[in-house]
């Protein structure tokens, strides 16, 4: 079969012959039809992702960890669970049977593949414990994953959705997706802190963070308690680091980590999340476009 492989860190994948994979007990063969190349895949190829060591050690390897394809009986499935040197950019892959999730009839493979980013948005419920009526802040709402997260937050019955981004034109489009308010992170630091505070209302219940870095550093300033009267906490779920890997976060923002640990610890939850975007009714035909902190203003 044909596959795209890289032989060294940072190399451009090469399309060439590769041995056919064979399924063992509890595994299935999937004929690949569509793969979305995401930022995390690019980071693994570049060797810059914090979990890239296994991938680099397995070179030559096939990039990408999930995609969409068909089982032998023609069933269209979303698949994952690939481990280096195996990857999704191949004609066929072998995955654990539990990692092949049926996709509803009528959804094109390329559309289904683009919804893989929606799985991360389900973390606002599975990791952040989002309840109907609560307020959600989506850091990085103008990206593909952020746009999907807004739709999912609305489908999960969030009471208020606030989204951030740097592109004024793109921010205006987010209201059509379900955002109640937007924040431009390109403004001056003090103004951004004030905007975070003003848009919080009674407080953010869940923050889904695709940015990290400076914007989240400024966000934590807005979450500094004003008194010893601490109420229900904000649950911050950090997904990406588009704005930087590090930041200086104020110690006065009383915090408690959640979900720290290796990637394998989250695998079971990720399988459960995988089918949720389709089940919840995320619009598959809408084209994709390119820390736990107590809030001082909550009074419940």
Closest CA to 144 of 239, 10, 267: 239
Instruction: State residue 138's pLDDT score.
Output: 96
Closest CA to 179 of 165, 191, 195, 166: 165
Q: How many Cα neighbours within 13 Å face the side chain of 210?
A: 27
Rounded CA-CA distance 289/148 in Å is 10
Instruction: State residue 98's pLDDT score.
Output: 95
Compute how many other C-beta atoms are within 10 angstroms of the C-beta atom of residue 2. 12
Instruction: State residue 225's pLDDT score.
Output: 58
Instruction: State residue 229's pLDDT score.
Output: 56
Rounded CA-CA distance 22/177 in Å is 43
SS3 136: strand
Rounded CA-CA distance 65/42 in Å is 11
Rg (CA), the chain: 20
pLDDT digits (tens), the chain, 300 positions? 999 999 999 999 999 999 999 999 999 999 999 999 988 888 889 988 878 888 888 999 999 999 999 999 999 999 998 989 999 999 999 999 999 999 999 999 999 998 877 788 898 998 889 999 999 999 999 988 899 999 999 999 999 999 999 988 999 999 999 999 999 999 999 999 999 999 988 889 999 998 888 888 888 888 875 555 556 678 888 887 776 766 666 655 555 444 444 444 344 444 455 445 444 444 444 443 333 333 333 333
Q: Is the dihedral of CA 83, 89, 90, 94 positive or negative?
A: positive
Instruction: State residue 192's pLDDT score.
Output: 94
Domains of the chain, start order: 2-109 (3.90.180.10), 118-294 (3.40.50.720)
Rounded CA-CA distance 161/150 in Å is 7
Q: How far is CA 125 from the centre of its chain?
A: 13
Q: Whole-prediction pTM value? A: 0.70
């Amino acid at each position: 079969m044909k596959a795209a492989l890289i032989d060294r860190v940072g190399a451009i994948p090469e399309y060439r012959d590769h041995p056919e994979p064979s399924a063992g007990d509890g595994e299935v063969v999937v004929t690949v039809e569509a793969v979305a190349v995401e930022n995390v895949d690019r980071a693994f190829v570049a060797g810059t992702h914090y979990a890239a060591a296994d991938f680099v050690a397995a070179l030559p390897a096939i990039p990408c960890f999930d995609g969409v394809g068909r089982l032998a009986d023609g069933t269209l499935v979303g698949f994952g669970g690939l481990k280096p040197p195996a990857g999704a950019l191949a004609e066929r892959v072998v995955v654990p049977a539990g990692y092949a999730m049926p996709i509803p009839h009528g959804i094109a493979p390329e559309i289904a593949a683009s919804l893989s980013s929606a799985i991360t948005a389900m973390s606002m419920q599975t990791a952040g414990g989002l309840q109907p009526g609560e307020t959600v802040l989506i850091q990085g709402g103008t990206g593909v994953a952020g746009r999907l997260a807004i739709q999912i937050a609305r489908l999960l019955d969030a009471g208020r959705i606030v989204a951030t981004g740097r592109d004024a034109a793109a921010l205006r489009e987010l209201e059509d997706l379900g955002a109640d308010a937007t924040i431009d992170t390109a403004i001056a630091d003090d103004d951004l802190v004030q905007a975070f505070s003003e848009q919080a209302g009674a407080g953010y219940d869940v923050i889904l963070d695709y940015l990290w870095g400076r914007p989240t550093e400024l966000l934590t300033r807005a979450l500094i308690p004003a008194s010893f009267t601490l109420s229900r906490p904000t649950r911050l779920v950090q997904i990406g680091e588009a704005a930087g890997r590090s930041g200086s976060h104020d110690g006065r923002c009383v915090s408690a980590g959640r979900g720290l640990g290796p990637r394998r610890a989250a695998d079971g939850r990720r399988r459960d999340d995988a089918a949720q975007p389709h089940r919840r009714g995320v619009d598959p035909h809408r084209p994709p476009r390119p820390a736990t902190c107590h809030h001082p203003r909550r009074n419940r």
